[in-house]
């Protein structure tokens, strides 16, 4: 390293600390605030904007009434199927929406309310 390069580095160091750079997210969110969602293979976004990526076929509580101990007043649950070789990605097996005494069980082809189609 020559003296010129070293001198430029010494001058650039205090200059970069004096300039404030505002960092932006690398990718702008395409979601509105206060929305939770899931998409693609294994992506989940929480109401507070955190995004998690994890594979799994458990039943997930996407949203629920936090004032109720048993999630009976309001909840949205989702269950995924295993990924198949033909499709390549896991698909949504069902969504269950509970509002007070009503339970909506949604699949790709059916909707059942309180167990009745």
Domain membership of residue 50 (yes or no) is no
Residue by residue, what is the 3-state secondary structure of 3-55? HHHHHHHHHHHHHHHHCCCCCCCCCCCCCCCCCCEEECCCEEECCCCCEEECC
pLDDT at position 110 is 94
**Of residues 11 and 54, which shows the higher confidence score?**
54
Domain membership of residue 105 (yes or no) is yes
Domain membership of residue 1 (yes or no) is no
Could you tell me if residue 69 is left (phi over 0), alpha (psi between -120 and 50 degrees) or otherwise beta?
A: alpha
Which is nearest to 98 in space by CA: 81, 84, 80, 114? 114
pLDDT digits 0-9 by tens, 13-40: 443 444 444 433 334 555 556 788 888 7
Domain membership of residue 43 (yes or no) is no
Structure-token match 């690398």, residue found: 26
pLDDT at position 42 is 77
Domain membership of residue 62 (yes or no) is yes
Domain membership of residue 95 (yes or no) is yes
Q: Which residues constitute the domain of residue 105?
A: 57-117
Could you tell me if residue 115 is left (phi over 0), alpha (psi between -120 and 50 degrees) or otherwise beta?
A: left
pTM: 0.61
Domain membership of residue 28 (yes or no) is no
Total domains present in the chain:
1
Domain membership of residue 23 (yes or no) is no
For residue 77, give the DSSP letter. E
């Amino acid at each position: 390293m020559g003296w010129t390069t070293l001198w430029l580095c010494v001058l650039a160091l205090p200059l970069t600390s004096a300039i404030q750079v505002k960092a932006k997210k690398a990718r702008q969110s395409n979601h509105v605030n206060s929305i939770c969602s899931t998409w693609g293979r294994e992506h989940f976004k929480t109401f507070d904007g955190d995004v998690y990526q994890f594979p799994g076929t458990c039943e997930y509580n996407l949203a629920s009434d936090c004032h109720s101990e048993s999630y009976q007043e309001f909840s949205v649950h989702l269950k995924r199927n295993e990924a198949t070789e033909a499709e390549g990605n896991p698909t949504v097996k069902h969504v269950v929406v509970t509002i007070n005494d009503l339970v909506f069980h949604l699949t790709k082809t059916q909707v059942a309310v309180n167990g009745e189609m």
